Every structure is written in C-alpha cells, then in structure tokens.
C-alpha cells in the first residue's frame, strides 16, 4: 500500500491542531471531536500542552484515505519550538501549510514556507478560520501570492487557474489557446504540478465547523506524492524523535525507509548493536504493538538504549546541517533546594529529546547552561522539570549567544615523542563560506593513518571530525566557532601502542594553537524585524528601535499605516516586542527572525569556558593526564 508522510505546519494559533483533529474525524478515526481549548485533542497529549493550548512536541497519527496510508505529523507552531519542526521535516513527503483567514501570512508562516520549498517538499495550503469575524479569504490568498508564492491555485478550480498552470504546463497552454482544454486536463495538470512542488493548491474552510476539510482530505492523495515502499529490500531507517517512557526507558520514533524491522532484531546504532525489545505502529489514530513493522510506516521502537535523534541504520544517510537558525539565547539554570544531581539528570534527558538546548556544565563553577529560542521555551522547560521530574529550578537572565568567525589561516603541529601522546597531529584552520558550518578534510596519505585502530579511513575521519566539532564549541573567547575549514595536514603513529584516545586528547591542543594563529572575531546574532503600525506612531517606533541598537531601513507609508524593516541584536528583540503595543495603541505588529551574524561593536565579550581549556596547555594536560 502507498504511504504519505504528511506534516501539518503553521504559525502559532492558526488552527493547525484543530485541523488535525478534524482530519481524523473526517477519516473516521475518531468518533468525537476534541478541542484545543478543552485540552482533549488526540495529538496534544502532554498535560502542559493541554493547559497552555499550544503544541510543544510533534505527534504522529495514522489513517487511510483512498488506499493510501497517511502518517500525519502535527508539529509545534510557536517559534520557540522550531527545533521540533526541523527534526520532522526530513521524513516528510509533503506539507499542509495552515494560514489563518483573519491574521493572514505571519512571521512563522514565511519561515516555514521558505524552508519546505528549499527542501523541495510539495505544499498544499489550507486557509483556516473562515467562520471567524474578520476572515477574508481573497485578501489572504493575495497575501500568499505576494509574500510566499505566485504559483497558488485556488480550489475548487476556476478559469484563473489556467494562468498559473500554463506557466509550467506547455501542453495545457496550447490546449487552452486552441480551445480544447477540458476540466479533466486542468485537474490532471494541477495534480502533477503540485506533486512536483511547482504549484500550491489552496483550500479554504474552518477546522472548527468542518467546512472545506472533506475537500482537502479527498485532494491530498492526488496533490502530494505518496511512496510505494520497498518492503522486501534491506532494512534501513532514521530516528527523528526520542522520548522517555513511564519507566524511564528510551523510545525512538523511527521511519522505516526500506525492509522490515522485527522484535529481537539487532541493528547497528552509534557503532554498536542494539536489540529491539518492542515495537508499536501508528494505526487508525492509535498505537498498537506489532511483532514487525514494514517499510513506509513510522514505529515507536524500544531497546535502542544509546540512540539519539538523527541516528540512522542501514543504507540511510542522516541529514547534515540545520534547516533553521540555531538558538541565539542562553540562560543559567539555578537548581532549587533539591538534589543538584537530579536536576542534571532531568536536563540530560530533556537534551536527548531536544539536542539544540545544548546542555553545558561548568564543573568549576558548578553551573548548568541551556541554549534557548525564547522566553516561552524557558517557561516550558521549567514546568516540565517540575511536573515530570519533580525538580524545581529558576533561571538567570537570558543572554545572547555570540559566535566566533575565523579571520585568517593558522597552522599547528604536535609531533610524536614530543608530546605526552603516541601520535602526531597537524592541522590547518581557515575561513569557510558563510553558512557552510564546519568542514573537515584529510590531506595526509593513507599509510600515515592508524587504520589498525580505526579499521577504515571513513571511521578515522569521522572520529577526528567529531573531536574537531566538539572542540570548536568553544573558541578563543569561549563562543562556538563556525563557517570554517579544518584540514588534517600531518599524521603519524607508533604501533601497537597508539590508540584512539591519543588522537582524541591531542587534537584539541593542536586545533586551539592553529585557531590562535588564524585569529577569530566575535559576532552577535542579528534578527531582521518587520514592524507595522498606525502612521502617526512611526516616530516613537523609530526612537524605540534606536534605543535598542537597531539599524532601520527606509520606512514605507501606505495610507494610515507604516511598515519599517530593521536589523536588531537578538538580545533586544524581546524588549522591542514588549514595548511596541504601548507605542501603537495596541495596533502594532512585529515579525522577527534570525538573519545573520555581525562583528560585535566595541569590546568583544567573553564566555566562561566549560571544557578542559586546551588554550592553556599545562591546565589541559593536568586534567587529561591526571598528573603534573
């Protein structure tokens, strides 16, 4: 049977979870509609989600439509939980983007649409909340065409659809000019072009009343690409979510890409074999235990004790890099009167579920650090720790996470027998292209590599690359280093004594020496703001931006309203958002998203180190070798 992995994406409060609920009801999976306000929906299962009325964790439900198994994944809409969306996108075949018929295209709508189009994922749009006061479908469709994509086709189809379709379909254009175009030809064209991601079909309706939802459900199998999975092939899959069960056991949400996974199978995870102890599959809105799960399904897998998000098995490659900007804020966790070890254990488990919170521990100061997207995420973490783990914490003031960028070229080498380790490591560090991340390369002959330890060149390279990435989490001033190229230029070993630990311990010393020679500049994260408000409030809004260090672009006035775009340090965004309503009589609207890093103006800030400090050789060796 064909399968369709479908994501429901939206800006917060656009009605995404309500639409999921209505789709399940229309598909016959549930008999009674749940409500977000009442906390009774199928996909918002956490008590915290039900109480706040927002989606925090992605959730999976499955149902069948016209012979196609739809694995529907409901995702968070709040920008503080964008990392949860990122982990889901890699397993999707297509997306339903929900847009409010009242608020229209919002900040997160644009971020999500750009990302899914960059991935080449086909999109169907649902303009929701047509039953609400102020709903204007025609206005919102016009917004979508201007702000998202001109290739929008309103459903049901009318003659105007041909103008969009004919830009991509020469045969349809010819038939239209000849007067031979039929309704069937137009319908076939929109389905083909939608599956190819060239046009976006748009439905309108209300998830609350059900208007338009049946038409959307019926159209999905034709408008989005389904897959016929290779169930007979070799086993492969990818883990996109990890959670803990009632007994604290790890549960891995896994897309089976090819083959069949069975209970008691042993699969390679993180360099070791793990035995599958139980399987649950999503079926008709619930999860049921199964002895095996075939390709095309999404399963909950028990027994993978060391599994992490993004792990793969079989011939399945994990996605590299991030689709969205990393967190740009940081806070210090202050444990309450309880056990500090319990707080660390709880945060470690939360970091398994969301690696981007980047839990760091400063052993010297006894402090724990978390990376954040925003204040709501901080509140949710605090509530989760209290309710699920029984530990109380407070947080210090949120601060900005800067970055270090390499400014020149630096080299360093440590030769065997001239350092405490049985290894030679030479490295070159140089700037990479913006947005390229960390690139690691080998420029040494194979015979110089200790393959009797690492078994293969790929394993050797991957092991060194992991150490490079870990070391560059803290640069010369303690900030993460990115957008650089690190090349192994020298390598030697002494059999049989040389082991993997020699390279793992020596490499940070060499890398920091090379980085010191190359030099870095500290950069701060800058968000791009778009503000709208009454025209008579423009002057105080511009003063507000100036007070918080913004760089505004020329404002645009249109009748009684203004629009201004500005670049603003990430640390100042929350303050601007809080003060804007008071300056605009509550009519101001602000959209903010990360845009770029720029060099800090003034003295470069330093970040307290939490590693073994390879910048100071004696201190580092004292820790690593445990001797003077």
pLDDT at res. 547 = 94
- Is the confidence at residue 324, as pLDDT, over 70? no
- Is the confidence at residue 323, as pLDDT, over 90? no
Residue 6 tokens, joined:
């479908």
Band the pLDDT of 44: cuts 50, 70, 90.
low
Higher-confidence position of 186 and 516: 516
CB-count exposure of residue 98 (10 Å: 0-12, 13-18, 19+): buried
Alpha helices in 90-201 (DSSP H): 107-118, 137-147, 160-165, 170-178, 183-195
DSSP assignment of 586-622? T--EEEEEEEEEEEPSSSPP-----S--TTSHHHHHH
Band the pLDDT of 628: cuts 50, 70, 90.
very low
pLDDT at res. 412 = 98
- Is the confidence at residue 52, as pLDDT, over 80? no
pLDDT at res. 32 = 72
Distance of alpha carbon 232 from alpha carbon 292, whole angstroms:
13
Segment 295-303 mean pLDDT = 91
Given CA atoms 94, 596, 516, 472 in this order, what sign does their dihedral have? negative
Phi and psi at residue 205, to the nearest 5° = 170, -160
Domains of the chain: 2-223 (3.40.50.300), 236-313 (2.40.30.10), 329-401 (3.30.70.870), 404-628 (3.30.230.10)
Integer-rounded Cα Rg, in Å, for the chain is 27
Segment 239-244 mean pLDDT = 88
pLDDT at res. 541 = 93
Distance of alpha carbon 302 from alpha carbon 63, whole angstroms:
23
State how far the alpha carbon of 555 is from the alpha carbons of 531, 532, 538, in Å: 9, 10, 8
Segment 569-596 mean pLDDT = 86
Share of the chain above pLDDT 90, in %: 44
pLDDT at res. 285 = 72
Band the pLDDT of 222: cuts 50, 70, 90.
very high
Distance of alpha carbon 138 from alpha carbon 405, whole angstroms:
46
Let me know: does 14 contact 99? Beta carbons within 8 Å: yes
Higher-confidence position of 68 and 315: 68
pLDDT at res. 522 = 96
Segment 446-459 mean pLDDT = 92
**pLDDT, tens only, 1-20:** 788 999 999 988 888 888 98
- Is the confidence at residue 79, as pLDDT, over 70? yes
Distance of alpha carbon 508 from alpha carbon 387, whole angstroms:
40
Distance of alpha carbon 607 from alpha carbon 314, whole angstroms:
40
Segment 542-565 mean pLDDT = 90
Q: What's the 3-state SS for 206-226?
A: CCCCCCCHHHHHHHHHHHCCC
- Is the confidence at residue 191, as pLDDT, over 50? yes
Band the pLDDT of 477: cuts 50, 70, 90.
very high
DSSP-assigned beta bridge partners for residue 369: 332, 360
Distance of alpha carbon 287 from alpha carbon 245, whole angstroms:
14
Segment 362-390 mean pLDDT = 84
CB-count exposure of residue 170 (10 Å: 0-12, 13-18, 19+): exposed
Q: Do the strands 123-128 and 200-204 form a parallel or antiparallel pair, or are they unpaired?
A: parallel
pLDDT at res. 91 = 86
Work out the mean pLDDT of the chain and round it to a whole number: 88
Let me know: does 44 contact 77? Beta carbons within 8 Å: no
Distance of alpha carbon 615 from alpha carbon 607, whole angstroms:
14
pLDDT at res. 497 = 93
Highest mean pLDDT: which range of 57-66, 165-174, 512-521, 562-571: 512-521
Residue 14 tokens, joined:
């656009």
pTM over 0.85: no
Alpha helices in 324-401 (DSSP H): 340-353, 375-388
Considering only 103-112, 362-371, 485-494, which range has the smallest mean pLDDT?
362-371
The C-alpha angle 52, 283, 85, rounded to 5 degrees, equals: 45
**pLDDT, tens only, 522-543:** 999 998 888 888 999 999 999 9
């Amino acid at each position: 049977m064909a399968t369709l992995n479908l994501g429901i994406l939206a800006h917060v409060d656009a009605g995404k979870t309500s639409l999921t609920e209505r789709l399940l009801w229309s598909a016959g999976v549930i008999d009674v509609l749940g409500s977000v306000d009442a906390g009774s929906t199928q996909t918002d299962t956490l008590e915290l989600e039900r109480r706040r009325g927002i989606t925090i964790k992605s959730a999976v439900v499955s149902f069948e439509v016209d012979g196609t198994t739809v694995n529907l994944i409901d995702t968070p809409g709040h920008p503080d939980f964008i990392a949860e969306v990122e982990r889901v996108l890699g397993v999707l075949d297509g997306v339903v983007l929900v847009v409010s018929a009242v608020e229209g295209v919002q900040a997160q709508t644009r971020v999500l649409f750009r990302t899914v189009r960059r991935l080449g994922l086909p999109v169907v749009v649902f303009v929701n909340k047509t039953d609400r006061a102020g709903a204007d479908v025609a206005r919102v469709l016009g917004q979508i065409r201007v702000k998202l994509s001109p290739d929008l086709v309103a459903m049901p189809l009318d003659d105007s659809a041909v103008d969009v379709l004919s830009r991509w379909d020469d045969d349809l254009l010819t038939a239209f000019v000849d007067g031979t175009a039929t309704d069937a030809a137009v319908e076939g064209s929109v389905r083909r072009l939608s599956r190819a991601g060239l046009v976006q079909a748009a439905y309108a309706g209300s998830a609350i009343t059900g208007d338009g939802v049946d038409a959307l459900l019926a159209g999905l199998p034709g408008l989005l690409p389904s897959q016929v999975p290779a169930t007979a092939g070799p086993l492969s899959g990818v883990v996109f979510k990890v959670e803990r069960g009632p007994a604290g056991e790890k549960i891995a949400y896994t897309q089976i890409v090819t083959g069949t996974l069975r209970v008691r199978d042993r699969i390679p995870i993180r360099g070791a074999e793990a035995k599958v102890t139980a399987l649950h599959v999503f079926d008709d809105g619930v999860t049921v235990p199964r002895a095996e799960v075939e390709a095309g399904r999404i399963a909950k897998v028990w027994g993978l004790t060391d599994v992490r998000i993004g792990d793969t098995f079989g011939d399945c490659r994990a996605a590299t890099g991030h689709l969205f900007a990393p967190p740009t804020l940081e806070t210090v966790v202050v444990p309450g009167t309880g056990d500090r070890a319990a707080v660390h254990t709880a945060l470690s488990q939360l970091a398994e579920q969301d690696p981007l919170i980047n839990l760091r521990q400063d052993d010297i100061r006894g402090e724990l650090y978390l990376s954040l997207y925003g204040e709501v995420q901080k509140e949710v973490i605090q509530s989760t720790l209290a309710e699920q783990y029984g530990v109380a914490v407070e947080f210090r003031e949120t601060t900005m996470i800067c970055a270090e960028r390499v400014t020149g070229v630096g080299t360093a080498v440590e030769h065997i027998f001239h350092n405490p380790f049985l290894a030679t490591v030479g490295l070159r560090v140089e700037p990479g292209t913006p947005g390229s991340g960390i690139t690691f390369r080998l420029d040494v002959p194979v015979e110089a590599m200790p393959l009797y330890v690492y078994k293969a060149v790929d394993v050797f390279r991957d092991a060194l690359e992991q150490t490079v990435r870990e070391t560059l989490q803290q640069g010369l001033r303690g900030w993460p280093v990115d957008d650089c190229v690190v090349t192994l230029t020298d390598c030697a070993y002494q059999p049989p004594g040389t082991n993997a630990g020699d390279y793992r311990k020596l490499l940070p010393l060499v890398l920091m020496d090379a980085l010191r020679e190359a030099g870095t500049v500290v950069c701060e994260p800058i968000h791009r703001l778009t503000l709208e408000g009454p025209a008579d409030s423009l002057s105080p809004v511009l003063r507000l931006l100036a007070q918080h260090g913004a760089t505004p672009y020329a404002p645009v006035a249109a009748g009684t309203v203004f629009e201004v775009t500005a670049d603003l340090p990430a640390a100042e965004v929350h303050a601007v958002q809080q003060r804007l309503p008071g300056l605009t009589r509550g009519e101001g609207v602000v959209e903010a998203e990360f845009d770029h890093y720029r060099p800090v103006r003034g003295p470069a800030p330093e970040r307290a180190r939490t590693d073994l400090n390879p910048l100071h050789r004696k201190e580092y060796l004292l820790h690593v070798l445990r001797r003077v």
